[in-house]
Amino acid sequence: MNDDRLAEGATATEAAVIRVFREEAGRLTAALVRIMGDFDEAEDLVQESLIEALRHWPADGIPERPGAWLMVTARRKAVDRWRRDTRRSGLLEALAREPVPDPPREADDRLRLIFTCCHPALPREAQVALTLRAVLGLTTPEIARAFLVPEATVAQRIVRAKRKIVEAGIPFRMPEPQELAERLDEVLAVLYLTFNEGYLATAGPTGSRRDLAEDAEWLTSLLVRLLPAEPEPLGLLALMRLHRARDRARFDDHGRMVLLSDQDRGLWDRETVTEGIVLLERAARRGRPGPYQVQAAIAACHDEAPCWQDTDWPQILALYDRLAAFWPTPVVRLNRAVALRHVAGPEAALREVEPLAVSLDRYHLYHAVRADLYRATGRGEEARAADRAALALAENLVERELLEDRLRA
Amino acid sequence: MKYMMLIGRTDEEWTSDFHARYHEAIDQWWGEHAQAGEIVGGEELAPASTATTIRWQEGRQFVTDGPFIEAKETIGGFGILNVPDLDAAIAVARSWPVAGQTVEIRPLVGQDE
């Protein structure tokens, strides 16, 4: 199924190149950082090699051992850079000796790379950009297109982040066991944000050949493989699957977003729902609940409901209470209020929602939820005002269309 | 690597019994980390109300009362850390015994590897 989706957005060769990059870029960056001890230069060499591959592979075909091809290219680029630099001659020898790939070291190498890119001393946008580039092999223009920001902005974020890694001494190693949970939270936050960005943009004119949601899902499944004892990566992967199962119902024939309440549930992919639930059960058996497992449980409740009205709202409300215990944020309380509406009515929900204005006044979905609740309580004028406020703040195209439709109705 | 650890403090904390309360804990903390070779220097500073700042304005220097940046929290002390990397520095800074105080760590420039 993944392959079909790739082929829709890109040509077959492009899709194959993306798969190779995903598999090889992080592996190569990780190996080079370990050998060279210089994150900045190692990452540059990989990026240059990927660009070289993009130049040759579409015409010449993908080499039989793409990982080796990229390693050889990176080595050649290192030689070009440092031929005259005698201090680096030892480094070039070490590069030449490095077998490709080096399986026993590989798992640790990749984890180290992921944890370095998602180090809490880096700002979130830089963590995301760096992870996409160094671990998943996206190019700077691709990241810029995916996040609708200028290329120069992304390039600058990456330069700054890499400079900080070197100058502040951010280490290239696994977190200590007592730090692992907290450091893993950072990684999961980066993956979740990337997934959401890609998931929302599915029908948008991003012009990107990469599907960010798919990249995030791939990396999450890698994390599950590399950290098999940890339940939260499994929970996040379950959450992604349970959302992706609704892919075919999320947009109508004109590419417009369809809300969960209005989706044709017959289009949902039952096999993927089952996969998601199996993942969630695997996570639950570890006996350590966490926010991603709870969110996956909420998604599972929706996926298993025959229709919006017959959703198990009391269960969803209880799950939001658990989520709020992990993440006591206004956004979680807003979502909880949506569930509360179906358990205790729109008036009760409004009483919860209105005080959130202090923190969520600039968040478009706060106003969209408010609009819904006003409509449900017969306050049409206030509903329209709230919808207009939502529209003024919404940046995503598909969400804007939905709000514009509501205002026209 | 060497880092400077800057410890934030409000002047109320200086004047209240806060200081007396944490004195022992700080001494002990400092002693342990110095013994382990992780702290190679540092001092506590008098309150920001004692600070004098020299700044430039329109090409001239002015001497003014008060700290560098007016803020509720100012630098109350510093330590020089000598640790392998940022994660180690974060671990030391995290263990600072005064709950509620902000700690900043910055690498020193021009250190030999």
The amino acid sitting at A148 is L
Question: Is B87–A179 a contact, with Cβ atoms under 8 angstroms apart?
Answer: yes
* Chain A residue nearest residue B94, CA to CA: A179
B contact test, residue of A38, A179, A180, A183 with most B CBs within 10 A: A179
Domain presence at residue A406: yes
Domain presence at residue B62: yes
Report the distance separating Cα A68 and Cα A33, nearest Å.
Answer: 16
Question: Is A173–B87 a contact, with Cβ atoms under 8 angstroms apart?
Answer: yes
Residues of chain B whose pLDDT is less than 50? 113
Question: Is A170–B86 a contact, with Cβ atoms under 8 angstroms apart?
Answer: yes
- pLDDT, residue A7, reads 42
* Chain B residue nearest residue A183, CA to CA: B87
Domain presence at residue B68: yes
Domain boundary among A311, A336, A361: A311
Domain presence at residue B113: no
pLDDT in tens, A293-348: 999 999 999 999 999 999 999 999 999 999 999 999 999 999 999 999 999 999 99
Contacts of B85 in chain A (CB under 8 A): 169-171, 173
> What are A66-73's contacts with CB under 8 Å, separation 24+?
A66/A20, A66/A24, A67/A23, A67/A24, A67/A27, A67/A28, A67/A100, A67/A101, A68/A100, A70/A24, A70/A25, A70/A28, A70/A46, A71/A28, A71/A31, A71/A98, A71/A100, A71/A101, A72/A100, A73/A48, A73/A49
Domain boundary among A285, A311, A337: A311
DSSP of A226-243: H-TT-HHHHHHHHHHHHH
Give the ipTM of the model, two decimals please.
Answer: 0.85
Out of A171, A176, A179, whose CB is closest to B86?
A: A171
Report the distance separating Cα A125 and Cα B27, nearest Å.
Answer: 39
Q: For residue A406, which of A225, A262, A272 has the smallest C-alpha distance?
A: A262
The CATH number assigned to the domain holding B89 equals: 3.30.70.1060
Contacts of B91 in chain A (CB under 8 A): 176, 179
Domain presence at residue A257: yes
- pLDDT, residue A237, reads 98
pLDDT in tens, A37-94: 889 999 999 999 999 999 999 889 999 999 999 999 998 998 888 877 777 777 777 7
Domain presence at residue B49: yes
Report the distance separating Cα A91 and Cα A37, nearest Å.
Answer: 10
Domain encompassing residue B79 = 2-107
Indicate the pLDDT class of residue A199, thresholds 50, 70 and 90: confident
Question: Is B87–A167 a contact, with Cβ atoms under 8 angstroms apart?
Answer: no
- Give A8 or A238, the one with higher predicted confidence: A238
Domain presence at residue B37: yes
Domain presence at residue B112: no
- pLDDT, residue A109, reads 84
Average pLDDT score over residue span A212-239: 94
Contacts of B87 in chain A (CB under 8 A): 170-171, 173, 175-176, 179
Indicate the pLDDT class of residue A201, thresholds 50, 70 and 90: low
- pLDDT, residue B62, reads 92
pLDDT in tens, A33-51: 888 888 999 999 999 999 9
CA distances from B19 to A8, A226, A352, B43, B47 (A): 66, 47, 42, 15, 11
Q: Give the tokens for residue B43.
A: 């001092």
The helix or strand, by DSSP H or E, that contains position A387, with its residue range, turns out to be: helix A380-393
Domain boundary among A247, A280, A311: A311
Distance to chain B for A162, nearest Cα, Å? 14
A contact test, residue of B1, B82, B87, B103 with most A CBs within 10 A: B87
Question: Is A169–B86 a contact, with Cβ atoms under 8 angstroms apart?
Answer: yes
Q: Is the pLDDT of residue A6 over 50?
A: no
Domain presence at residue A109: no
Q: Is the pLDDT of residue A204 over 60?
A: no
Q: Mean pLDDT of all residues in chain A?
A: 89
Is there a contact between A194 and A132 (Cβ–Cβ < 8 Å)?
yes
Report the distance separating Cα A334 and Cα A370, nearest Å.
Answer: 9
Contacts of B81 in chain A (CB under 8 A): none
- Provide the CB-side half-sphere exposure for A201 (13 A, CA): 22
Domain presence at residue A384: yes
Q: Answer yes or no: do A349 and A403 share one domain.
A: yes
The CATH number assigned to the domain holding A383 equals: 1.25.40.10
Q: Answer yes or no: do A271 and A237 share one domain.
A: yes
Domain presence at residue A252: yes
Question: Is A168–B86 a contact, with Cβ atoms under 8 angstroms apart?
Answer: yes
Place of tokens 């329109």: B58
- pLDDT, residue A298, reads 98
Question: Is A175–B3 a contact, with Cβ atoms under 8 angstroms apart?
Answer: no
In sequence order, what are the residues at sequence separation of 6 or more whose Cβ sits closer than 8 angstroms to the Cβ of residue B89? A169, B1, B3, B5, B81, B83, B105
Share of chain A above pLDDT 90, in %: 66
Q: For residue A215, which of A251, A234, A190 has the smallest C-alpha distance?
A: A190
Domain presence at residue A139: no
Report the distance separating Cα A288 and Cα A227, nearest Å.
Answer: 14
Domain presence at residue A403: yes
Q: Is the pLDDT of residue A5 over 50?
A: no
Average pLDDT score over residue span A26-31: 90
- pLDDT, residue A117, reads 96
Share of chain A above pLDDT 70, in %: 93
Question: Is B107–A169 a contact, with Cβ atoms under 8 angstroms apart?
Answer: yes
- pLDDT, residue A193, reads 93
Distance to chain A for B10, nearest Cα, Å? 24
Helices (H), A246-286: 270-284
Q: Is the pLDDT of residue A26 over 80?
A: yes
- Give A244 or A254, the one with higher predicted confidence: A244
* Chain A residue nearest residue B110, CA to CA: A167
- pLDDT, residue A99, reads 61
Please give the tally of structural domains in chain B: 1
Contacts of B90 in chain A (CB under 8 A): 121
Question: Is B84–A176 a contact, with Cβ atoms under 8 angstroms apart?
Answer: no
Is there a contact between B78 and B44 (Cβ–Cβ < 8 Å)?
no
The amino acid sitting at B13 is E
Domain encompassing residue A233 = 228-311
Q: For residue B87, which of A375, A333, A171, A363 has the smallest C-alpha distance?
A: A171
Domain presence at residue B18: yes
Q: Give the tokens for residue A105.
A: 């070291």
Report the distance separating Cα A391 and Cα A15, nearest Å.
Answer: 35
pLDDT in tens, B3-17: 999 999 888 887 778
Average pLDDT score over residue span A358-365: 92
- 3-state secondary structure (DSSP) of residue A170: coil
Domain presence at residue A16: no
Assign residue A248 a region (left: φ > 0; alpha: ψ between -120 and 50; beta: otherwise).
alpha
Assign residue B66 a region (left: φ > 0; alpha: ψ between -120 and 50; beta: otherwise).
left
Please give the tally of structural domains in chain A: 2
Q: Give the tokens for residue A355.
A: 């005080």
- Residues of A within an 8 Å Cβ radius of B: 119, 121, 167-171, 173, 175-176, 179
Distance to chain A for B57, nearest Cα, Å? 31
Q: Answer yes or no: do A326 and A405 share one domain.
A: yes
Domain presence at residue B92: yes
Report the distance separating Cα B49 and Cα A271, nearest Å.
Answer: 67
- pLDDT, residue A34, reads 86
Is there a contact between A108 and A65 (Cβ–Cβ < 8 Å)?
no
